[in-house]
Amino acid sequence: MSEKLNQLKELYGEISDLNNAAALLGWDQQTYMPAGGGEARGQQLATLGKISHDKMTSDEFGKLLDELKQEFAGVDPLSSEDAAMVRMAARDYDKATRVPSEFVVEQAIVTTKAFEAWVEAKSKSDFSIFRPHLEKVVELVKKYISFFPPADHPYDTLLDDYEPGMKTADVKVIFDGLRSKQVELIKAIAARKQVEDKFLHKKYNEEKLWNFAADVTKQFGYDWTRGRMDKAPHPFETSFSVNDVRITNRFEADNPLATLFSAMHESGHAMYEQGVNPAWDRTPIGHAASLAVHESQSRMWENLVGRSLPFWEYFYPRLKKVFPSQLDGVSLKNFYKAINKVEPSFIRVNADEATYNLHIMLRLELEIALVEGKVAIKDLPEIWNAKMNEYLGITPPNDALGVLQDVHWSYGSIGYFSTYALGNLVSAQLWEKINKDIKGLDEEIRKGKFDSLLGWLRKHIHTQGRKYYPQELVQKITGSKITPEPYVRYLTTKYSGIYGL
């Protein structure tokens, strides 16, 4: 390895350390920080963000990159990890140098206050508390876009931060091809007799359910010597190094088993981060390829594994032992149908697989409209409710179940939501390939064994880190770029069996 590349890695390592320290403060803000600490926390995050940004945009970093780009000119980054590091460092540098340090500081302070306001607004189901903060957040988002060269669509600039290389037009084409097929499936299911699921909404002991969920993640392969699970208003995964990857969860009294599926979901994210090549920690390629690839891992473990019949053939007898009264007289078949019930619902994270993507399409439309200035912040609750009725045929009774349910806008993550649906598509593409490569996978899952599956994901996804752009990685593994067909096949097969279509 060249001396200049070592220097770049050292500099990038310092930047990574600062960003991880900021992430730790963010994790604490959502888990243990007292309510009064918000203002100081915003200043702390702003300071760390400014130092990190200044290091990334320094003349030293830029000079090293220029020299390394010449040194690795003509070297294929897909076959050279050193060239891949230079490529991704150059991408990060180009984005960072377009954004002034003053903006980084302002955004950190504004979004910290916005998060605190969101927590209060959601608890009181009152959008007016969050509205002035969201107005500032969106104003900053538009300002951020202005720092970059004009794109085909202004939303492209935001989307590229989360899904490198993806365009708004690409997402629209994918969603347009998917929407009608999902709506058709939902209509077909609606014409059938609905499954019974009242037993899922009985009273379940929170501690017992939390512990059961933790045991499932351990059996999946989430390494608890390098991770933990804490409570937060909105479940998430965060990583401070390959050896410190944490998840959060929550308990909903009226939908208790959501705790279990959230744990599966977040552990899918976490196992990805724990599986990145440890030699790449603190380097430009020591992260996940993109949020869609990240989401493919969480949705795979939550749904393709965690809501499958083979999975529950192993785990259902164990769950019945923990909750005998709640599940008394409930057969495995009826339980399996219940956890896969298709029914339009208000909360995205609890939505069934057949309706979930419609939640994402709704949010994508709203975000694009916000960026284009076609929607006023004050009108969001009303527009949200109208679109929920249009897409899913239901209207949220209050803001907490509607426009305030997601945390993402509070910390400025506009451009993010489409990656959730894209992740669903990638999960199904990978699943078809996995089942060709691992013969008898269902039988292994039926025995509570996940080593082969995790090993496959480690080899093909996790250890690859950020060496590839997402479309390059998906193409390399499956032979095609992100496409909806495998996901449509998966949904159709699964729900035809459950609802007798």
Length of the chain: 501
A 10 A CB-CB count for 79 gives 9
Which range marks the domain in which residue 141 is found?
Answer: 3-150
CA distances from 258 to 3, 75, 420 (A): 50, 47, 18
- Residue identified by tokens 């804490």 is 230
What pLDDT is attached to residue 501? 86
CA distances from 212 to 81, 246, 271, 318 (A): 40, 18, 18, 9
Residues 238 and 145 in one domain: no
Whole-number Å distance between alpha carbons of 178 and 426: 13
CATH number for the domain harbouring residue 376: 1.10.1370.30
Residues 363 and 294 in one domain: yes
In degrees, rounded to 5, the angle at the alpha carbon of residue 326 between the alpha carbons of residues 348 and 212 is 65
- Averaged pLDDT score across all residues of the chain: 95
> Which of 150, 176, 204 is at the close of a domain?
150
pLDDT digits (tens, 9 = 90+) for 26-40: 999 999 999 899 999
Residues 415 and 475 in one domain: yes
* Percentage of the chain exceeding pLDDT 90: 96
Beta strand 237-241 pairing with 244-249: antiparallel
Residue 158: inside a domain: no
What residues does 239 pair with on adjacent strands? Answer: 245
Residues 329 and 397 in one domain: yes
Residue 162: inside a domain: no
Mean pLDDT confidence for 273-280 = 97
Q: Specify whether the CB–CB gap between 385 and 404 falls below 8 A.
A: no
Residues 130 and 178 in one domain: no
A 10 A CB-CB count for 90 gives 17
Sheet holding 237-241, edge to edge: 229-231, 244-249, 237-241
pLDDT digits (tens, 9 = 90+) for 409-438: 998 999 989 999 999 999 999 999 999 999
Residue 494 pLDDT > 80: yes
Residue 95: inside a domain: yes
Helix axes 3-31, 101-124, angle to 10 degrees: 30
Identity at 22, one-letter amino acid code = A
Residue 202 pLDDT > 70: yes
Residues 177 and 121 in one domain: no
pLDDT digits (tens, 9 = 90+) for 80-108: 999 999 999 999 999 999 999 999 999 99
Whole-number Å distance between alpha carbons of 403 and 471: 31
pLDDT digits (tens, 9 = 90+) for 152-177: 999 999 999 999 999 999 999 999 88
218 Cβ contact list (under 8 Å, min separation 6) = 224
What is the set of active-site residues?
A: 266
Residues 195 and 124 in one domain: no
Residue 1 pLDDT > 80: no
Residues 284 and 146 in one domain: no
Residues 271 and 135 in one domain: no
Largest CA distance in the chain: 70
Mean pLDDT confidence for 357-361 = 94
151 Cβ contact list (under 8 Å, min separation 6) = 157, 167
What residues does 249 pair with on adjacent strands? Answer: 231
Mean pLDDT confidence for 320-334 = 97
Here the tokens at position 337 are 């149908």
C-alpha 66: how far from chain center: 33
Mean pLDDT confidence for 179-207 = 94
Number of domains in the chain: 2
What pLDDT is attached to residue 2? 84
Residues 37 and 88 in one domain: yes
Higher pLDDT, 349 or 402: 402
Here the tokens at position 440 are 């008898």
pLDDT digits (tens, 9 = 90+) for 363-374: 999 999 999 999
Q: Which helix (H) or strand (E) holds 230?
A: strand 229-231
Residue 350 pLDDT > 90: no
Residues 285 and 417 in one domain: yes
Lowest mean pLDDT among 263-277, 324-338, 407-421: 407-421
Mean pLDDT confidence for 289-317 = 97
What pLDDT is attached to residue 326? 97
Residues 128 and 173 in one domain: no
> Which of 96, 121, 150 is at the close of a domain?
150
Q: What are phi and psi of 403, to 5 degrees?
A: -65, -20
What pLDDT is attached to residue 234? 87
A 10 A CB-CB count for 191 gives 8
> Which of 123, 150, 177 is at the close of a domain?
150
Residue 163: inside a domain: no
3-state secondary structure of 79: coil
Residue 331: inside a domain: yes
C-alpha 300: how far from chain center: 12
Residue 157: inside a domain: no
